Structure 1
Amino acid sequence: MAKRVKIVLNEDIVNLGKDGDLVEVAPGFARNFLLPYGKALAVTPAVLKQVEHRRAKQAKLEAAKKQEALDFQTALITIGRFTVKKQVGEDGVLFGTVTNGDIAEAIKEATKKEIDRREILVPEINGIGNYKVQIKLHSEVTAEINLEVISY
């Protein structure tokens, strides 16, 4: 009886692998769980060819997303400065704080493109002035924008 069986995963499985990975598992695990529930496929030349095709397609999509992020980074740099209006008390101290949601709104108004507010790293902003803000556009692309906080 075989010690290990090679299979291709159809979905992400914790502690085993991601969708499309070629893994070796115990024969009972493959026979009793992975194969009957459609979580994996037995390795055949046709399945391997399909996996390679899927990986090539995924790589092409990932390259397109990265290029889109680079283009958006260039657009953000071209714009140069984004402005957020906040209520200010005496001595230029803010009432409240500037949040990543405020910055996302300012970017959306200027570029007409919505970005995820969770990808914005906001420094501590206590008063009016100019600040540098980091935005993660892609796993490999980050943009740094200038943020101007003014009173209204």
Structure 2
Amino acid sequence: MAKRVQLVLNQDVSKLGKTGDLVEVAPGYARNYLIPRGVAVPTTPGILRQVERRKELERQRLLEEKQQAETRKKALETIGRFTIAKQAGEKEAIFGTVTNQDVATAILEASNQEVDRRGITVPDIHKLGSYKVDIKLHPEVTATVDVQVVPAKGGE
């Protein structure tokens, strides 16, 4: 069996790796496809140092993102309760439902923090009352806040 060759990828290759990854491939694949097309370069000590440096910078960036998400979580949970006004009918039933966009708007108005509505998990809300809503701020950070649904005043 032929020896494997180590390369560093210059661009994403499906089923092989992402840009900057260190991969081992068959020598023919490297010699005939990856290197001539500029998709990868052979490893040298200098390139290995660059790869390590890039990985360290990426790790620090991800750590910083997580810390920012933790700070936002603490701020949201300190406020704790957000109020959404909905037009209500009999037996405290609301017209329509409370959507993740409604929650995102209420958070923006109350705290001046913009939250991605796609990261908000809202239970089925069809009546007035208080509900728990999960907000995913980061893959590892989720905040839980109370949403108070109250009747709208007048003709809203």
Give the TM-score of the pair, scaled to structure 1: 0.92
Q: Is 1:78–2:78 an aligned residue pair?
A: yes
Identify the residue that residue 69 of structure 2 maps to in structure 1. 69
Structural mapping, 1:5-44, within 5 Å: 5-44=5-44
Tell me the amino acid that sits aligned with residue 140 of structure 1.
E
User: Which piece of structure 1 moves more, 22-31 or 117-126?
Assistant: 22-31
5+ residue gaps in structure 1?
none
Quote the offset at 1:2 in angstroms.
4.4
Give the TM-score of the pair, scaled to structure 2: 0.90
Identify the residue that residue 132 of structure 2 maps to in structure 1. 132
User: Which piece of structure 1 moves more, 97-106 or 34-43?
Assistant: 34-43
Tell me the amino acid that sits aligned with residue 140 of structure 2.
E
Quote the offset at 1:40 in angstroms.
1.8
Q: Percent identity?
A: 55
Identify the residue that residue 149 of structure 2 maps to in structure 1. 149
Q: Deviations over 1:31-61 (max 9, x none)?
A: 3332233322211111100000001111111
5+ residue gaps in structure 2?
none
Tell me the amino acid that sits aligned with residue 28 of structure 2.
G
* Count of residue pairs the alignment pairs up: 152
Tell me the amino acid that sits aligned with residue 92 of structure 1.
E
Tell me the amino acid that sits aligned with residue 55 of structure 2.
R
Q: Deviations over 1:59-91 (max 9, x none)?
A: 111111011000000100111101111121111
Distance (whole Å) between structure 2 residues aligned to residue 38 and residue 129 of structure 1: 60
With over 3 angstroms needed to count, the CA separation of the structure-2 counterparts of 1:96 and 1:45, relative to structure 1, is same
Identify the residue that residue 116 of structure 1 maps to in structure 2. 116
- SS of the residue aligned with 2:16? coil
Q: What is the RMSD computed on CA atoms of the aligned residues?
A: 1.5
Distance (whole Å) between structure 1 residues aligned to residue 105 and residue 34 of structure 2: 45
